[in-house]
Structure 1
Amino acid sequence: MASHTTESQPPTEAVGPSYRPVTQKPTATVSNSLSHSNVTILPSTPQLLSLLTMIRDKNTGRADFIFYSNRIIRLLVEEGLNHLPVVEHEVTTPVGRTYSGVKFEGKICGVSIMRAGESMEQGLRECCRSVRIGKILIQRDEETSKPKLYYEKLPEDIADRWVLLLDPMLATGGSALMAVDVLKSKGVPEDRILFLNLIASPEGAVNFAERFPKVRVVTAFVDQGLDEKNYIVPGLGDFGDRFYTM
């Protein structure tokens, strides 16, 4: 398959514990970096890279694909929650002492871009008990090749919540951009939206970050680019198919 001109050479670096010399570390492909302040890329740790290697492998079966994807999703949710505001909160411990801590401010909800985004709902529920989940269905119009909104079901009070938008793959960014427009039409401020994503193309991530500079993006990896069919490369194939059917 021929490569699209936007595809770039992937960065590599020696990976492993800091106490090991470089000569004793394997070299691995790591994420592209982006200069946009509203984009957070998970550190390319040995754990994350090994998980990504498993789900990228075409020979990984569905059960293992789900297991390792869920681990990455959990890392993304945990990092996403770090970007929510907190307020001071003092508690008394069982030994009668006080501890000056913090607690989350405000209510949150998840919104998955169907169907692949639904794969990330369980990871959010594991971190946020009884969290409300909304749905948005956006598909490409075969005649215009542009994204089209087919369905949305969101909490009635979503304008008063912090929204974690869920979609594992960010290629051109068309679906994610339309999803943010839907949320904004419901009264959700841009700066209350966090987009959680497993793998992004540089083009999609930059397009999204510049279109909505107040929306925070948390991604596990920024890949090389897009091919002529707008597939992320090296990518991992169709995430929804591999998670739900293959």
Structure 2
Amino acid sequence: MRVHVADHPLITHKLTVLRDKRTTSPVFRQLTEELITLLAYEATRGVRVEEIEIDTPVTRTTGLKISEPRPLVVPILRAGLGMLEGMTTLLPTAEVGFLGMARNEETFEPYTYAERLPDDLSDRQCFVLDPMLATGGSLGAAIDFLFARGAQDVTAVCILAAPEGVAAIEKQVGDRDVTLVLGALDERLNEKGYIVPGLGDAGDRLYGTV
């Protein structure tokens, strides 16, 4: 498993505003979109491409285009939805699937309550969107779900992660082709399973508590 922690002043600046408890939901949503576009740039460095010949106004030349089958972007509901537009801004030709996963707040174990994905993901590059990698339960379950459908290459994009979550994913995925792209790697988890210093519950801050 590969882990890439983005190191860019614009990312750190936007993360600082996201962490601030005074930041309102509209601003939080806007900054999340901007931040994910920056992280998507890092996450798609290995996107599969193929050569194509084109005619410029001057001459014929060779360029690149995204290969078929197209990449699949999979936000984990509900908080992952806040990351979707930022990802598809940079990768507009990608297809989009959905996984509805939640965490039992007492056991911290994940469960799947909805899915909308192709039956066969063979040869597909999949990009999973999940704002917070805390215990690793939800993201790990999502990665297993995609590989069970035939995926061979999964990249997870997270705004924040705790070392415990990264270690859990690394142990779970084994030698499968998985990459983690993180906005920041925080200090630890607290006794409630929240990232410290973190930014609170990303879903609540994006959409409210209802």
Structure 1-normalised TM-score? 0.77
Tell me, in whole angstroms, the C-alpha distance in 1 between the residues paired with 2:87 and 2:35.
Answer: 12
Instruction: Name the residue aligned to 1:29.
Output: none
| Pair 1:206-2:170 in alignment | no
Task: Supply the distance in 2 between the matched residues of 1:101 and 1:145 (Cα, whole angstroms).
Answer: 47
Letter in structure 1 aligned against 2:163: P
2:77 is the counterpart of 1:114: yes
User: Who is 2:195 aligned against?
Assistant: 232
Q: Distance in 2 between matches of 1:112 and 1:206?
A: 22
Partners of 1:145 and 1:209 lie apart in 2 by 18
Correspondence for 2:206: 243
Deviates more, 1:50-59 or 1:122-131: 122-131
Aligned to 2:5: 41
Q: In 2, are the aligned partners of 1:92 and 1:99 still within 8 Å (CA)? A: yes
Tell me which residue corresponds to 1:103: 65
Q: Deviations over 1:53-94 (max 9, x none)?
A: 110001111121111111111111122111213233332211
For residue 6 of structure 1, what is the aligned residue in structure 2? none
Local SS of the residue matching 1:155: coil
Q: Is the 8 A contact 1:117 1:168 kept in 2?
A: yes
- After TM superposition, list the pairs within 5 Å mapping 1:94-243 onto structure 2: 94-95=57-58, 97-106=59-68, 107-141=70-104, 144-189=107-152, 192-212=153-173, 213=175, 214-243=177-206
Structure 2 SS opposite 1:116: coil
Q: Deviations over 1:214-246 (max 9, x none)?
A: 211111110111111111010000111111126
> 2: CA distance between counterparts of 1:119 and 1:172?
20
Distance in 2 (alpha carbons) for counterparts of 1:239 and 1:137: 15
Deviations 1:193-229 (A, max 9, x none): 1111110001111221332242111111101111111
Unaligned runs of 5+ in 1: 1-36
Supply the AA of the counterpart residue of 1:40.
Answer: H
d(CA) in 2 for partners of 1:198, 1:220: 5
Calculate percent identity across the aligned residue pairs.
37
Query: Partner residue of 1:8?
Result: none
Post-superposition offset of 1:139 = 2.0
Cα distance between partner residues in 2 of 1:177 and 1:39? 15
2:56 pairs with 1:79: no
Q: For this pair of structures, how many residues does the alignment match?
A: 206
Q: Which runs of 5+ in 2 are unaligned?
A: none
Deviates more, 1:109-118 or 1:147-156: 147-156
Contact 1:209 1:217 in 2 (8 A): no
Q: CA deviation at 1:184?
A: 1.5
CA distance change for structure 1 residues 38 and 224 in 2, over 3 Å: closer, same or farther? same
Alignment partners' CA distance in 1, 2:115 and 2:108? 20
Q: Which letter maps to 1:73? A: I
